[in-house]
Amino acid sequence: MDHYDPGVLRYAAKRWLLFFAAIILFSFTLLGYRLVDLQVIRHDQLSNAARGNTIRTVERAARRGDILDRRGNLLATSLFVKTVCADPSMIGEYRPHIAQTLAPMIEMDEVALNDRLAPRVFRNEAGQVRTNRYVVLKRKVPREKWDAMREALQKMDLGNEAGLTRSQRLYLRGVRKSIFADRAEDQLRVYPGKRLASHVLGFVGGTDHKGKEGMEAVMDSKLTGTRGWLVTETDSRKRELVSMRRQDVAPRNGLNVVLTLDIGVQHIVEAELAKALEKHKPLGITALVVVPLTGEILAMANLPDFDPNIPGKHEAAHRRNRAVTDTSEPGSTFKIVTVAAALQDQRVSLGSKFDCERGLFYYGGRRLRDHHAYGKLSVKEIITKSSNIGSAKVALRLGAPRLHHFVTDFGFGQRTRISLPGEVRGTVHPLKKWNKLSITRVPMGHEVAATPIQMAMMMSAIANGGKLMRPMLVHSLRDESGRVVVKYHSEAIRQVVSSETAAKVTEALKTVVGEGGTAKRARMQYHTVAGKTGTAQKPGPGGYMPGKYYSSFVGFFPAEEPALCILVGLDEPAGDYYGGLTAAPVFKAIAERTASYLGIKPDLVEQGTVVSSREEP
């Protein structure tokens, strides 16, 4: 039997004890270092990282304000929408089921959606292998549609789920939740009327939802509002810990913009323009309806137009608001300026006679023609017959400096300052650049270029007793509760001619729609009309272009107590091109329908009987 030396045993035991003690000490040393590293050395770094994993900042969008017409009808509004996403790593073998369920709801091809839901492996910037867990399926999905999608996912048939284990049912629950909506809400701008008043409204674009054209651009700062935000903490499953919210700042929604437009009048105008476009085939057609007393715009329309819900699907030219961006030589409508100026300066009276030279007048070595061989005409008859020679002779008596003065005083060659982007000044040459022929050409609307809005406001000034108004498109700003925050008021620019002069011009303009006038087709049944036709040959690089005209009619009614001023202009109508044949009938159609809609009191009444002045077919 072997015997062990007790001393040796004690020595061995002591060695083992020291060994284990060393291990324990080393372990505690490592643990201590780890604690110091975590709590002291890298405390700030790790704390920030931990907070970054649990703290979430969610931007809360302010709702963009609505745009309304003067009666409160909705023209533009915003819907909160969702961005629908998927986590492909959670879908597994159920990709075909989800693709089949969602494809028709997000308007996507089922095969393409199935491919998009496939998990994909990639390396991140740190070189780590990762699987895509965030795939955008569709943006700008209305809340109601997202709710329908969630319901469809819950009802999706994934086989006999009743016989599955708890863990299997939890897995299928995760599959259904693999389709989710991004927490940050977006907005979708909607125009219920589609093309209605599209050039006035404009549209929004880009991820920042900024107004790009029309009122959306001009009133962008009022419509936008102020964003809010939410700073909160989440658990390991990304669920919000409501009790741990740090900041909760509510957004301040944008203001609602109320326009002067009357959508009923706008409907009438656009319907009549569509008929004229079909009949005359012009490159474009424009109409304006103005309240002369205030300058309020009740309707502004152009064709071709566009749908602001899908602006990118239309040509840029169709989005152009011709009423403020396009100029043309106004033609004979400009004779109003010449006659008003001469009457104001008392250089002529309505009865003053001028020899119209049987239709051919030489001045400065150049010929000036009339369409008919007129002899002597009074100033009133010069307007009635639209005599080029007569208006030139009136201007010669007035003089170039005074004519130029009144042209600019009526607002030509300068912006009207309407609340729309892209307005141009038009063209009025400085007096020092007028040549010897200008005094005979400007009176008939040559050598100047004007926008439709300038022509409408000039005629409105005559209807308003000689006072030129700034065109008004914005009526007021209101908050969410409907309270008026800002009320806009009409603005008079200047008194161009006296009310007495304006009344004399009106007397002459009434004859234009009478027998012997150039615009019998503008005659209304129950209201007197004062107006003027315009037929201007379009200038080109080498002179005036044969067969290309800008045809127009601008007038107001009732003539003695004007309620509305209406302008209609056609750019290069096919076939008939005289303003009295193309634009005047459109004026009449718009005027009669609008008068009925607004209940404008007739003034053609004698002894209780309406006197009809309807033109015989």
Per residue in 328-359, pLDDT (tens digit) is 999 999 999 999 999 999 999 999 999 999 99
Region of poorest pLDDT, from 44-58, 180-194, 296-310: 44-58
| pLDDT above 60 for 485 | yes
Of the pLDDT bands very low, low, confident and very high (cuts 50, 70, 90), residue 16 is confident
User: Look-up: residue for tokens 């309407």?
Assistant: 418
pLDDT at residue number 3: 57
pLDDT at residue number 2: 55
pLDDT at residue number 440: 96
Of the pLDDT bands very low, low, confident and very high (cuts 50, 70, 90), residue 614 is very low
Contact at 8 Å (CB) between 471 and 458?
Answer: no
Q: Which CATH architecture has domain 263-610?
A: 3-Layer(aba) Sandwich (3.40)
- The Cα-based distances of 8 to 14, 16, 19, 515 in angstroms read 10, 12, 16, 143
Contact at 8 Å (CB) between 212 and 205?
Answer: yes
Who has greater pLDDT, 616 or 266? 266
Calpha distance 290→600 (Å, rounded): 14
For residue 304, whether the previous peptide bond is cis, meaning omega lies within 30 degrees of 0, is yes
Of the pLDDT bands very low, low, confident and very high (cuts 50, 70, 90), residue 607 is very low
Q: Is the pTM of this model over 0.85?
A: no
- Range 100-115 average pLDDT: 90
- The Cα-based distances of 577 to 509, 546, 553, 570 in angstroms read 21, 12, 12, 9
114: amino acid identity, one letter: N
Of 52, 54, 47, nearest to 236 by C-alpha is 54
pLDDT at residue number 168: 79
- The Cα-based distances of 81 to 78, 182, 296 in angstroms read 9, 10, 35
Of 600, 588, 526, nearest to 554 by C-alpha is 588
- The Cα-based distances of 167 to 95, 161, 174 in angstroms read 20, 11, 11
Rama region for 414: left / alpha / beta (φ>0; ψ in -120 to 50; rest): beta
Calpha distance 177→185 (Å, rounded): 18
Contact at 8 Å (CB) between 400 and 438?
Answer: yes
Q: Mutual orientation of helices 335-344 and 499-510 as an angle, nearest 10°?
A: 140
Region of poorest pLDDT, from 9-13, 52-56, 422-426, 462-466: 52-56
Model confidence over 512-538: pLDDT tens digits?
A: 999 889 999 999 999 999 999 999 999
Q: Which residues face 556 on adjacent strands?
A: 530, 565
Calpha distance 233→120 (Å, rounded): 30
Of 95, 306, 39, nearest to 196 by C-alpha is 306
Of 541, 534, 515, nearest to 580 by C-alpha is 534
Structure tokens of 308? 């602001």
Half-sphere exposure at residue 274, Cβ-oriented, CA atoms within 13 angstroms: 9
Question: Looking at the domain 58-259, which fold is it?
Answer: Penicillin-binding protein 2a (Domain 2) (3.90.1310)
Of the pLDDT bands very low, low, confident and very high (cuts 50, 70, 90), residue 397 is very high
Of the pLDDT bands very low, low, confident and very high (cuts 50, 70, 90), residue 121 is confident
- Range 101-129 average pLDDT: 84
Calpha distance 530→558 (Å, rounded): 8
Calpha distance 510→258 (Å, rounded): 35
Calpha distance 477→484 (Å, rounded): 6
Structure tokens of 449? 């270029």
pLDDT at residue number 604: 87
DSSP H or E run through 233? strand 228-234
Calpha distance 257→240 (Å, rounded): 37
Structure tokens of 465? 């007793």
| pLDDT above 50 for 616 | no
Contact at 8 Å (CB) between 146 and 105?
Answer: no
Calpha distance 335→45 (Å, rounded): 80
Region of poorest pLDDT, from 4-13, 218-227, 258-267, 559-568: 4-13
pLDDT at residue number 355: 96
pLDDT at residue number 47: 60
Give first-to-last CA distance, the chain, whole Å. Answer: 145
pLDDT at residue number 195: 96
pLDDT at residue number 37: 66
Calpha distance 13→18 (Å, rounded): 9
pLDDT at residue number 122: 76
Length reported for the chain? 617
pLDDT at residue number 172: 84
Of the pLDDT bands very low, low, confident and very high (cuts 50, 70, 90), residue 608 is very low
- Range 353-382 average pLDDT: 94
Boundaries of every domain in the chain: 6-41, 58-259, 263-610
| pLDDT above 70 for 4 | no
Average pLDDT over all residues of the chain: 88
